[in-house]
Amino acid sequence: MSQYGMIIDLEKCVGCHACAIACRAEWEVPTGKDSAERERRRNWVTRLGPTKTPKGLASTYYPGLCNHCDKPACVDVCPADKVEVTFTDAKSGKTKKMEVAATWKDPFNGTVQIDKERCLGCGACADACPYSARYVNEEESDPKADKCTFCVERVAEGLEPACVQTCLARARIFGDLNDPNSEVAKYVKKGAAKLESAKVKIGPNVRYYGNKKDMHLLTTTCTPQAMPQANLRRTIMAHMLKPAMDQVKGLGMLGLAGAVIVKGLSDDEKE
């Protein structure tokens, strides 16, 4: 079994933001409307410092993306109905059946993925992620949650993830953390660090490598210190709405409740 992961070598990174834009182009990532959305979407670079650290003045970057965690906080909160899915290992051809909601952790490559056909767009997963690495694509006519897929679709074609390919510094390194001969595994041995804290220990698989002062700056400012509070209202509503949504879809908008909902929506259009 593989666990895809990424290393970000801050000694090489020059903070050019090419990774973030390449990702945007590759997956048509919306730009978002407010600053919070802008900063944490699918693939981002945040400049840190210059600021004082115990190791001296430092300035570095927080290039971020989904961590494809060992225990992803986003998966269990998905309210979509579970269905049985057969997963196949790309290497051995082995298969495994699992009951999954609209988002899951792949049992063979360790990536966290979304089935956007079944996603309700409720945003519960985005709320649950302590790294703010998920978003709901509001620019779609039917908004769905989205996130970094580690470009598994590109990887399957023999390509590198879009952010890795464009990186002029070769500061992003992608590979299988479970393969001891991989470059990513070698970085782990050299001490590449996870952004984990006492209360946020969900096994991120993106790791950062850099000198002491840069790592001090990164870890003290960018490590989440608490798991996000679930958005109770949103969770309850998602659960309440889901059965009705299923029925509305099944009805093709026929029936009394459908008409009521449509009326509600057209009123909403007039706002």
Partner 1 sequence: MALNLTRRKFLQTASLAAASAAMSGCFARQANASTPFVKKPFTAPGSFAGTKTAVGGVCEMCFWRCQLVGKVRDGKLVKLEGNPKSIDNGQSICARGNAGVKLLYDPDRLKFPMKNVGKRGAPEWKRISWTEALDECATKLKAVVDKHGPQGIAIFPHGSSAKYPMTFFENVVGTPNNSEASFFQCRGIRDTAYVATLGVAPGENVDMANAKAIFLLGGHFGENVHVSHLKRYLKGLENGAKLIVVDPRFSASVSKADIWVKIKPGTDTAFLLAIMNYLIKEGKYDKKYVAEHGKGFDEFSKGIAHATLKWAAKTCDVPEKQIKQVADMLAANAPNVSIHPGRHVSWHGNDFQRERALACLTGLLGAIGVKGGFVAGKGPKTGKAGWPKPMAEHAEKFALHKMAKVYKFSPPGTPTDLIRNAAVTGKPYAIKGFVAWGQNPIQTVPDQALTIKMLEQMDFVMVCDVMPTDITMYADILLPESSYLERYDHIQKGTQWNFADPHQQFISARMPLVSPTAADHERKESVWIMNELAKRMGYGEHIKVKSAEDMINTMLKDANLTIEQLVKEDGIHLQPGVDPYGKALDVEFHSAELAEAGYPAIPTYVPVPEPPKGFARLVYGRAPMHTFNRTQNNTWLHNEMPINPVWLNDECAKKMGLKDGDTIELVNQDGVKSRTSSVVKVTPGIRKDTVYTAHGYGTMNKAMTVGVGAGIDDQSLITKVAVDPETGAHGMRNNFVKFIKNGKVLSIPA
> Under rule CB under 8 A, which residues in 74-133 are in contact with partner 1?
116-117, 119-123
CA distances (Å), origin 5, targets 18, 154, 187, 250: 20, 15, 11, 40
Q: Which positions from 57 through 76 interact with partner 1, judged by CB under 8 A?
A: 57-60
First to last CA, the chain: 52
User: Which residues contact residue 109 at a Cβ distance below 8 angstroms, ignoring those fewer than 6 apart?
Assistant: 2, 3, 4, 89, 90, 152
Least separation in angstroms between CB 104 and partner 1: 15
Q: Which positions from 166 through 195 interact with partner 1, judged by CB under 8 A?
A: 166-169
Question: How many residues of this chain interact with partner 1, rule: CB under 8 A?
Answer: 78
Answer yes or no: are the C-beta atoms of 202 and 130 closer than 8 Å: yes
Look at the block and give the residue holding tokens 């792949």.
106
Residue of 36, 52, 81, 190 interacting with partner 1 (CB under 8 A)? 52
Least separation in angstroms between CB 185 and partner 1: 20
Least separation in angstroms between CB 255 and partner 1: 6
Q: Which positions from 229 through 248 interact with partner 1, judged by CB under 8 A?
A: 234, 237-238, 240-241, 243-245, 247-248
Answer yes or no: are the C-beta atoms of 223 and 89 closer than 8 Å: no
Residue of 105, 144, 194, 207 interacting with partner 1 (CB under 8 A)? 144
Least separation in angstroms between CB 200 and partner 1: 25
